[in-house]
Amino acid sequence: MASKNQTGTLAYIYRVFRMAVLLLLIGVIGLVLRKSPPPVVNTAADAAATLQANLEEEKKSADAEAVGAWAQPRLVPRSKRARRSCSTTPLMGCRLVAA
């Protein structure tokens, strides 16, 4: 059996350890929940205008591509068997259909 002095020392060490862990936990929670400042990002003064011009150019090219694809004939397989041959040899077993 442990003496009273040894039990008192172990209880004291346990209380100190418990308080240290509690303070550490509160500190970690505080660090996780605090708001950090936003990062500094270098941008050009005309970035908005450049972005708008790029978006308009991309839209025009996508529209032109869509019109071009719409006007092209497409291959339609005649049957399931022809569909398999369509992937390897597009003109055998397939027929041209206007879109």
CA distance 72 to 65: 11
pLDDT value of position 64: 77
pLDDT digits (tens, 9 = 90+) for 8-47: 899 999 999 999 999 999 999 999 999 988 888 888 889 8
CB 86 within 8 A of CB 94: yes
Q: pTM value?
A: 0.37
- Which helix (H) or strand (E) segment is 48 a member of? helix 47-71
pLDDT classification of 68: cutoffs 50, 70, 90: low
CB 77 within 8 A of CB 93: yes
